[in-house]
Amino acid sequence: MTIYPAIDIKEGKCVRLVQGSIRRQTVYSDNPVEVAIEWESQGAKYIHLVDLDGAFQGKSNNENIIKEILKTVSIPVQLGGGIRDEQKIAYLLDDLGISRVILGTAAIEDPYMLETAVKKYGSRIAVGIDAREGKVAVKGWTDEYGISPLELGKKMRDVGVETIIYTDILKDGMLDGPNISTTREMVQHTGLNVIASGGISDISHIRLLKAAGVSGVIIGKALYTGMIKLKDAIELGN
């Protein structure tokens, strides 16, 4: 099981949101590149990067920071946030050297584009499935889409997606534990590689998610507040 320290970038800074709300954010660093270096030095094998400006606005000025992170660390980086067309996917994977891109809104609204990308890039395409009260949320978590996360997971499997990032929005940034039961359902009923995200604040949560069969866990706020030590999480994941 892979532990992914999260770096969420907004307006050039490393931030964490609460329940996906841009009005409830905390800035943890003015230098996301330094944060990436720190996570790698502590043993991270993969970094989870989110371009929040891209996610919320569809465009972003964070590209230079993302490039600098890729140049500075030697571990793979996955990126999500505002990736909504084939040109952007090709640019990130072929030109920049991102290891895996995470599609959200585009995976739902443009199934042909998703299918084309999966055929071309295979496991380098992941899909973020973000849920609020049993429904999928899109466009930076601002809109709801009338389908359950499990239904969407099965659709993604059927077009060849191998990996999803599953987030319970109401848990995100709250530090009160992940939604274990729905995450387990996703693992058992889709057969996908499920990376769990949202609410993880204690090493016991990682243990429970590992038992549920997830392939990875994304940890954000708990690392920045010191509630979880990255080294402990990695040891448990191994």
**Catalytic one among 8, 51, 53, 168?**
8
| Farthest CA pair distance, the chain | 42
Which residues face 125 on adjacent strands? 101
Question: Which residue stretches of the chain are H helix?
Answer: 32-41, 52-57, 63-72, 86-90, 105-109, 111-121, 149-158, 180-190, 203-211, 221-225, 230-237
Query: With left for phi above 0 and alpha for psi between -120 and 50, is residue 153 left, alpha or beta?
Result: alpha
CB within 8 A of 161, min separation 6: which ones? 107, 114, 118, 125, 126, 127, 192
Contact 88, 58 (CB under 8 A): no
Query: Is 219 strand, coil or helix?
Result: strand
130-151 burial by CB neighbour count: b if 16+ within 10 A, else e?
A: bbbeeebbbbbbeeeeeebbbe
232 is catalytic: no
- Tokens 């949202």 belong to 198
Is-catalytic flag, 8? Answer: yes
List 51, 53, 130, 168, catalytic entry: 130
Question: ∠ CA 183-132-51 to the nearest 5 degrees?
Answer: 90
As annotated, the active-site residues are 8, 130
